[in-house]
Amino acid sequence: MTLADFIVTNAPALVVAIPLFAAFTCPAVGRISKATRNLWVMGAMLLTAAVAFILAFRVFTGGTAIYVFGAAAANLAVPLDSGGIPIRIIFTVDAMSAFMDIICAIAGVSVLMYSLSSESNNTSLDGYYTLFLLMIAGVFGMVSTGDIFNFFVFLEILSLASAGLIAYRIDGGLAVEAALKYFILSTLGAILVLFAIGIYYGQYDALNIAMIAQRMQFTMLDKIALVFLVAALAMKCGAVPMHFWTPDAYSMAPSSVTAFLVVASQASLYGLFRVVFTLYNVTLNCVIVGWIIIILGILSMVVGVTMAIPQKDVKRLMAYHAISQTGYMLLGVGVGLAVLGNAALSSAFGLMAMEGGIFHIFNHAMYKGLLFLTAGAIFYRIGTRDLNRMGGLGHNMKYTMVFFVIGALAIAGIPPFNGFASKLMIYESVYLFNPLLAIIAMVVSILTLASFVKVFHSIFMGPKLPEYADVKEAPLPMLVGMGILAAIVILFGLFPQPVVDMIVAPAAHALVDQGGYIAAVLGGA
């Protein structure tokens, strides 16, 4: 077996194993020198991203990839002597998981590149990089795993690492306060998830997601488990009315961490979709659950944007916009779910709404990450996040300003940026479902634009302020990190159709196709 074969076969495990290994060796490597450690961390991240791309390519060309830990062969999900029961921990990477893998790989590389210089003035960086790589491993694990208990474990790894990083810059206790809020809510959410897992195990004797999906009866207990999972995961992705941790955590974390927390929230969103579509699919009452998700989405959109407008802290403002944008994804996928039982409506606009929602996950991770990184670059140079104390920075930070404009236009859904591409899909399809919802979505976009025009004006426009007369442009690694994201924002905005055809549509189809997921693991249909 050659090295290439080895990597392709073991790719699902390697995307988690490489960051885990690099994370725990990072403090030891850090003893040698700072440069060695940076090289080590960056190398591990690039390697992980490369493996993630190989894995994604394999999934998009060859169908769902499975990896069984400790089995005789990587794809032997059901041992020959077990009587048809999958007993081992399994990673099931279908098109939706591969889609999330790509997001995590791109965001991970650019954010890590950025933090090489944005965090360089801080102490105990070994711990920072260890936790950062643990976050990466947590996200990859959550989106790859095909075992529901394993999902819980990665969820907890992600929560622990994120909480540590939010509190990383103690900031007179403020950051710790934000991290505490996030972590207590996350822990309560995780306990709910574990209760749900217990309920499934008690009824179906299985932890394998495909096995549970196959045996799903939708009893009263399953309804309770569904409520637990939806509540916990909607809270983790920051949907209104469980959004209170989001502005605090997003604004107090270092900006590089915030940019990756966006991806972490979306891993929870992925979990929510996986539960609803793969575990339950048509056995549940699609219309009611679909409408619950739509209402969560609409509430998030409206409350997020109205709370954002009066904010004075630039990162807090962006955090409320992140809540608002999460609403679009919930809206798109919720509409897809509401018409799932009806084949005619589903093919007329349901799938397109889902594609719009899923495409928006990718776009959101890119432009929101970019916006948080620009906010971080400004904070790095002038040391404040208060909009009232900024002004005239466009004279000195030209590249940062350009990146900010790209991100702001993308989040407001202005062509030719990527936010427009996915929002247009959502508007068109949701309008066919219920015109009122589409109009609300458009109004929220307009308010978003208004809010960002104000922010842009107060940060960059106006005369040079005397106290910021000798502010310099952000350092090169930070610009490179932002540049990667900005390039993708523009590229996906100019050519949305190939992207939708290549990765978004397969992801949406994989999510809807419960039978395909079960067949990929258990064999047969």
* Contact residues: another protein, CB under 8 A: 149, 153, 156, 160, 163-164, 167, 170, 172-174, 176-180, 183-184, 187-188, 190-191, 194-195, 197-198, 201-202, 207, 248, 252
DSSP, residue by residue, 123-171: S-HHHHHHHHHHHHHHHHHHHHB-BHHHHHHHHHHHHHHHHHHHTSS-G
Q: Residue 159 Cβ, how far from another protein at the closest point, in Å?
A: 8
Q: Which is nearer to another protein, 187 or 306 (CB)?
A: 187
Closest by Cα among 140, 175, 139 to 158 = 139
In the block, tokens 């025009």 appear at 453
Q: Which is nearer to another protein, 170 or 288 (CB)?
A: 170
Q: Which is nearer to another protein, 210 or 284 (CB)?
A: 210
DSSP, residue by residue, 352-375: HHHHHHHHHHHHHHHHHHHHHHHH
Q: Residue 187 Cβ, how far from another protein at the closest point, in Å?
A: 5
Q: At what angle do helices 245-252 and 174-204 cross, to 10 degrees?
A: 130
Q: How many Å apart are CA 220 and CA 406, to the nearest integer?
A: 49
Q: Residue 24 Cβ, how far from another protein at the closest point, in Å?
A: 14
Q: How many Å apart are CA 239 and CA 300, to the nearest integer?
A: 6
Q: Which is nearer to another protein, 89 or 289 (CB)?
A: 89
Q: Residue 192 Cβ, how far from another protein at the closest point, in Å?
A: 9
Is the CA virtual torsion 334, 340, 344, 346 positive or negative? positive
Q: Residue 379 Cβ, how far from another protein at the closest point, in Å?
A: 17
Q: Which is nearer to another protein, 99 or 228 (CB)?
A: 228
Q: Residue 199 Cβ, how far from another protein at the closest point, in Å?
A: 9
Q: How many Å apart are CA 394 and CA 429, to the nearest integer?
A: 39
Is the CA virtual torsion 417, 418, 423, 424 positive or negative? positive
Region of residue 127 (left: phi > 0; alpha: psi -120 to 50; beta: else)? alpha
Q: Which is nearer to another protein, 136 or 166 (CB)?
A: 166
Rounded to 5 degrees, what angle do the CA atoms 94, 354, 276 make? 65
The pair of structure tokens assigned to 445 is 């976009």
Q: Residue 118 Cβ, how far from another protein at the closest point, in Å?
A: 22
Q: Residue 165 Cβ, how far from another protein at the closest point, in Å?
A: 12
Q: Residue 299 Cβ, how far from another protein at the closest point, in Å?
A: 22
Q: Which is nearer to another protein, 183 or 277 (CB)?
A: 183
Q: How many Å apart are CA 25 and CA 65, to the nearest integer?
A: 29
HSE at residue 135, side-chain half, CA atoms within 13 A, is 31
Q: Which is nearer to another protein, 74 or 174 (CB)?
A: 174
- Is residue 434 classed as helix, strand or coil in its secondary structure? coil
Q: How many Å apart are CA 276 and CA 292, to the nearest integer?
A: 12
Residues in the chain: 525
Q: Residue 178 Cβ, how far from another protein at the closest point, in Å?
A: 6
Closest by Cα among 266, 275, 201 to 231 = 275
Q: Which is nearer to another protein, 158 or 216 (CB)?
A: 158
For residue 82, which amino acid is it?
S
In the block, tokens 């889609």 appear at 99
Q: Which is nearer to another protein, 6 or 69 (CB)?
A: 69
Q: Residue 410 Cβ, how far from another protein at the closest point, in Å?
A: 29
Q: Residue 380 Cβ, how far from another protein at the closest point, in Å?
A: 22
Residues 6+ apart with CB under 8 A from 329: 266, 269, 297, 357, 358, 360, 361, 364
Q: Which is nearer to another protein, 141 or 356 (CB)?
A: 141
Q: Which is nearer to another protein, 155 or 401 (CB)?
A: 155
Q: How far is CA 219 from the centre of its chain?
A: 31
CB 14 within 8 A of CB 7: yes
